[in-house]
């Protein structure tokens, strides 16, 4: 599958366009209403983190496939990349209620719960790449 | 495999088959297939041992294909995997015993021959195990699908009041489906009160309680109220013993009491006429 | 972009029809508080039927707006939260515990009425 889209995030509007692109792709891939909400919310959190902490970056959305017993499994992968300051303590940001922005502190741990796979790669001073996947049920 | 080894195995063919059949019958008596008629068992044994020997003459992929169709058939009729692995182990022992019994094998070739036989039989065992586990995964997948279809329906019993009876074990996957069907049903029927009946849930542990609490919270967000009913004495005991806090939402012992309280919440009651 | 706020007797009615961006959400918070102050409203219904997504930021803005309105003496009820939105919020661990909810605008108004009478 080659459906892929990149959305630049360098303003608050980038957050809105990233989640709209995510909703469209999720619909196209056949995700139900609830999973569409999960996916767009996850994108919104990731895009907002980019905007708040790195100022700019991009969100890459892609339809993916994997082979399993019982046939081919389809899913949607979201990669959020930035060249911002990086995350000092990945363990801390994954704790519920941890916040540096005065928000609810539900962002990253929330994204992890919304999605099926979650991977975070961050180097202080160089940037952060967060990769998450939602599989079609 | 070296032609000389194949030739040697073939020269023991009849003895191997006879000895193997004797031993596999002993194994069978001790363990499995009491339900299989003797004729079928003998027939299968014959086919199996001949297939093992036959693989010596076939090319690798041909041998694989033969084994596959043989195992596929037996998996479907429910033969246990242990029949095959035991059968092959016995076969290897019988063969090696015969080959070494009458000094036909030059001692320096013993090791070489042993390892050839080992890798031949191991190859077959590996393939059988693969076939079996593949078929188990497949079955598991189908059962998961079947379980999904056991969805939980939301039943509108009165205007503004609906009931969701839960039956069976609740795992994370199912909990998600139940939650979706619950919330969508609430919107569809415009229910102000939903009664979740857990009479049919065998075990309520912290995980299940967590799912139920989450469902109740989500119900509140869409604008309805959730009442948990059908709490059996042993469930009440486990809930308290596990220290699960259900204090935030209403619980009633029976569906009837739940419905009464649902009517009260929507400012109605049942009267005799 | 500004979200229109309608006045109905003692109440304010808001139906959010757009995909909320952060600015619009904050602007709405300010507009609503000003309107409550100006009209001396007793209750507010915010209808979210058309909202397809609430992330942690918007959830915080909504939670804050409810709390702030309460401080100013106006009860707020959120209505029409969609199943997907509710499940997503729960998944994220956002319970909006202190926030009253109702199925739709009609029931939201009923709930306000009851709460104000009680």
**Mind giving me the DSSP string for B213-233?**
HHHHHHHHHHT-EEEEE---H
A contacts of B134 (beta carbons < 8 Å): 69
CB contact under 8 A, B142 and A69: no
CB contact under 8 A, B223 and C80: yes
CB contact under 8 A, A70 and B137: yes
Answer whether residue B19 shows pLDDT above 70. yes
pLDDT tens digits, one per residue of B136-192 = 888 888 777 776 666 678 999 999 999 999 988 888 888 888 999 999 999 999 999
Average confidence score pLDDT of chain B: 84
CATH number at residue C93: 3.30.750.24
Query: In this structure, are residues B242 and B205 in contact, taking their beta carbons and an 8 Å threshold?
Result: yes
Percent of chain B with pLDDT strictly greater than 70? 93
Mutation for testing the A interface, residue in C20, C53, C81 having most A CBs under 10 Å: C53
Chain B window 144-183: which residues touch A at a Cβ cutoff of 8 Å? 180
Give the total number of structural domains in chain A: 1
Q: Where in the sequence is the domain holding C12, given as residue range(s)?
A: 6-117
- If one compares B109 and A110, the residue with the highest pLDDT of the two is A110
Q: Which domains does chain B have, with CATH numbers?
A: 3-145 (1.10.490.10), 155-265 (3.30.750.24)
* Among A40-44, B59-63, B229-233, the least confident range: B59-63
- If one compares B85 and C47, the residue with the highest pLDDT of the two is C47
Q: Where in the sequence is the domain holding A91, given as residue range(s)?
A: 4-135
Band of the pLDDT at C73, cuts 50, 70, 90?
very high
- Residue of B217, C53, B63 lying closest to A41 (CA atoms): C53
Task: Judge whether C1 lies within some domain.
Answer: no
Band of the pLDDT at B32, cuts 50, 70, 90?
low
CATH number at residue A27: 3.30.565.10
- If one compares B156 and B111, the residue with the highest pLDDT of the two is B156
Q: What is the pLDDT of residue B109?
A: 75
CB contact under 8 A, B137 and A34: no
Q: Is the CB of residue C83 less than 8 Å away from at least one CB of chain A? A: yes
Chain B window 236-265: which residues touch A at a Cβ cutoff of 8 Å? none
Token representation of residue B217: 């919270």
Q: What is the pLDDT of residue C111?
A: 92
Q: Which residue among C19, C23, C91 sits closest to A110, beta carbon to beta carbon?
A: C91
Give the total number of structural domains in chain C: 1
CB contact under 8 A, C84 and A38: yes
C contacts of A34 (beta carbons < 8 Å): 83-84, 87-88
Q: Which residue among B176, B184, B190 sits closest to C103, beta carbon to beta carbon?
A: B190
Q: What is the pLDDT of residue A106?
A: 67
Q: What is the pLDDT of residue B126?
A: 87
Band of the pLDDT at B203, cuts 50, 70, 90?
confident
Answer whether residue A36 shows pLDDT above 70. yes
Answer whether residue B132 shows pLDDT above 90. no
């Amino acid at each position: 599958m080659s459906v892929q889209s990149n959305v630049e995030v360098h303003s608050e509007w980038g957050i809105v366009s990233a989640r709209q692109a995510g909703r469209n792709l999720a619909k196209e891939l056949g995700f139900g209403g609830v999973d569409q909400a999960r996916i767009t919310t996850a994108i919104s959190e990731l895009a907002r983190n980019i905007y708040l902490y790195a100022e700019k970056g991009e969100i890459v959305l892609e339809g993916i496939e994997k082979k399993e017993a019982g046939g081919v499994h389809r899913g949607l992968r979201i990669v959020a990349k930035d060249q911002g300051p990086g995350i000092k303590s990945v363990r801390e940001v994954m704790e519920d209620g941890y916040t540096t922005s005065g928000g609810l502190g539900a962002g990253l741990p929330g994204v992890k719960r919304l999605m099926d796979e979650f991977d975070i790669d961050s180097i202080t001073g160089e940037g952060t790449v967060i990769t998450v996947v939602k599989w079609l049920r | 495999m070296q032609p000389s080894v194949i030739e040697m195995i073939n020269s023991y063919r009849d003895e191997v088959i006879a000895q193997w059949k004797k031993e596999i019958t002993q194994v069978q008596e001790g363990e499995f297939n009491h339900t299989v008629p003797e004729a079928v068992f003998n027939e299968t044994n014959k086919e199996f041992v001949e297939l093992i020997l036959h693989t010596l003459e076939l090319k690798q992929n041909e041998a694989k294909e033969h084994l596959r169709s043989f195992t596929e058939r037996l998996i479907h009729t429910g033969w246990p995997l242990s029949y095959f692995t035991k059968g092959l182990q016995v076969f290897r022992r019988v063969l090696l015993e015969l080959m070494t019994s009458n000094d036909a094998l030059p001692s320096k070739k013993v090791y070489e021959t042993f390892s050839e036989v080992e890798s031949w039989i191991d190859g077959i065992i590996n393939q059988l195990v693969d076939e079996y586990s593949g078929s188990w995964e497949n079955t598991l997948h189908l059962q998961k699908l079947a379980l999904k279809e056991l969805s939980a329906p939301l039943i509108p019993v009165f205007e503004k009041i609906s009931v969701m009876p839960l039956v069976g074990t609740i795992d994370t996957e199912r909990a998600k489906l139940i939650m979706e069907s619950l919330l969508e049903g609430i919107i569809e029927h415009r229910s102000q009160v939903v009664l979740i009946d857990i009479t049919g849930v065998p075990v309520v542990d912290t995980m299940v309680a967590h799912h139920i609490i989450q469902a109740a919270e989500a119900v509140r967000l869409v604008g309805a109220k959730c009442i948990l009913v059908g709490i059996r004495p042993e469930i009440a005991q486990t809930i308290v013993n596990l220290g699960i806090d259900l204090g935030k939402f209403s619980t009633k012992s029976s569906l009837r009491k739940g419905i009464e309280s649902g009517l009260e919440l929507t400012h109605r009651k049942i009267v005799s006429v | 972009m500004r979200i229109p706020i309608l006045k109905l007797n003692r109440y304010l009615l808001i139906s959010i029809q757009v995909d909320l961006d952060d600015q619009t959400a904050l602007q709405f918070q300010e507009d609503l508080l000003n309107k409550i102050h100006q009209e001396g409203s007793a209750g507010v219904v915010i209808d979210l039927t058309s909202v397809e997504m609430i992330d942690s930021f918007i959830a915080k803005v909504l939670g804050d707006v409810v709390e702030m309105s309460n401080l100013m003496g106006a009860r707020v009820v959120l209505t029409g939260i969609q199943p997907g939105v509710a499940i997503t919020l729960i998944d994220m661990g956002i319970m909006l515990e202190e926030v009253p909810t109702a199925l739709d605008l009609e029931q939201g108004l009923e709930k306000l009425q009851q709460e104000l009478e009680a």
